Amino acid sequence: MKNFLAVGVGAALGTYLRYFINVQTQFTGYPVGTLIENLMGSLLLGLLSGYFATKKPKEWVKAGLGVGLCGGFTTFSTFAADTIGLYLQENMWLSLCYILITLPGGISLAMAGFLFGQKIGGRTT
């Protein structure tokens, strides 16, 4: 039961944070909010994963922060919809740039976060 509650609380916090960032960046006309959320979320989940690979926290902590907070904060479906939206607005180049920043950027930041998480957790790689 603790895991379910932790995921729910984490997801609520992540979702509210995502909404706040989207509201603050709406004026740009470009999906900057989603880009920030997915890149920051990749970094954070990588960091947590690396740290949790060296330290063994309680399962509800891992579930609340990983599945809940990071899952509620990041959004692949909005990334997909924004990509299609940019393309349909005849902004093929903006759509392509969005993809080329989000995918390699997210993977790179997740890896950097993982390595840093392991380092602060006490394991050197």
- Return binding residues for Na(+): 71, 74
Task: Read off the tokens for 7.
Answer: 């995921």
Q: H-type helices in 26-91, by residue range?
A: 32-54, 59-62, 71-73, 76-88
Distance CA 122, CA 125 (A): 10
Going by the annotation, the residues of the binding site are 71, 74
SS3 90: coil
Distance CA 90, CA 101 (A): 19
SS3 123: coil
